[in-house]
Amino acid sequence: MSLASPDTTAASVHAPNGARRETLLEVRELKVHFPIYRGFPVARQVGAVKAVDGISFSVKPGETVGLVGESGCGKSTTGLALVKMNPITAGAVHFEGQDMVHSTGEHMRQLRRKIQMVFQDPYASLNPRMTVEQIVGEPLMVHGLAQGAARRDRVQELLRVCGLDPRVYTRYPHEFSGGQRQRIGIARALASDPIFVICDEPISALDVSIQAQIINLLEDLQEAFGLTYLFIAHDLAVVRHISQHVVVMYLGKIMEVAGSKTLYDQPLHPYTRALLAAVPIPDPKLEKKRERIVLKGEIPSPINPPKGCRFNTRCPLAQAICFEEEPAPRQVGDGHYVSCHLVE
């Protein structure tokens, strides 16, 4: 897991001796801006929502990278951009060394077979007019992997692997609970034999009693099929459990990147510290003793983000330089990067 500063060349970001070749996904200066138009009958662009504004990170095969931050920070937009469901404004995305930004047609279809997504809302992500067999089997049909009886057998096997009765393939989504629907969504994601799965808050819409089951299922599938995950979430306790590395986002920018243990034991960015302070501790004595960090104010608009550090309007430690210059990511340890002027 690594992070590049805007003025750092790709070759210098990765260690020598083949480290670059070990990268499965490499994102460099990714921007996703949504234009704002006004005027009638001729509309003209008057601004843009800078949902993702120049982020860089990489993912190695077999690992789970957590992408965390408050609602509206650009997490889900990033995930959708990586599968080109959101238009990419600028930047580079390479998957297994192949350029995804400029890929189209058959080449992009082949890349999408290797990259799948599990969506947040299991109630909205499944077509209510399709049976489970049609939903899970659709990737098999699109990519020409199985037809007829072979397709049905494959669907039933995927349902079994995801903890469902294979005989439910004739039913419709409304006949299942939220947890069961998410298992169907996971089965659909696995149908094309992907190697990289983007999990966009896959448990946030589920009951607490079901969340642990889905997390355990994802971990079992990763071990069984050698999957790589980008796990998008706002629950830092879950991210700590499932991720080897964590990327912290705020208002379209990356604030901190570190190994999971390092980030939770030694958070350096004020925003990361505030996020961790909001995670409840199940021990009342420890909960009472720990430092309280309460962020004041609201997240600024991504249409007109603050000058300098994006976090300066809410940071309790902000100084003059924070309002003038945007901090570049600096390496403070092995795989640990922080975008903050105050961190030495």
Give the pLDDT score at 263.
94
Q: Tell which residue, 253, 287, 288, 282, has the closest CA to residue 269.
A: 253
> Using N-to-C axis directions, what is the helix angle for 178-190 and 148-161, rounded to 10°?
130
Question: In this predicted model, what pLDDT tens digit does every residue of 189-224 receive, in sequence order?
Answer: 999 999 999 999 999 888 888 999 999 999 999 999
Q: Which residue has the higher pLDDT, 322 or 209?
A: 322
Predicted TM-score (pTM) of this structure: 0.88
What is the secondary structure of 149-176 as a DSSP string? HHHHHHHHHHHHHTTS-GGGGGS-GGGS
Q: Helix %, strand %, coil % for the chain, to 5?
A: 35, 25, 40
Domains of the chain and any CATH numbers: 22-36+46-287 (3.40.50.300)
pLDDT greater than 60 at residue 286: yes
Mean pLDDT, residues 124-151 taken together: 94
Mean residue pLDDT of the chain comes to 89
Question: In this predicted model, what pLDDT tens digit does every residue of 10-46 receive, in sequence order?
Answer: 332 333 333 345 899 999 999 999 999 998 888 999 9
**For residues 67 and 230, is the Cβ–Cβ distance under 8 A?**
yes
Q: For a pLDDT cut of 70, what percent of the chain falls above it? A: 92
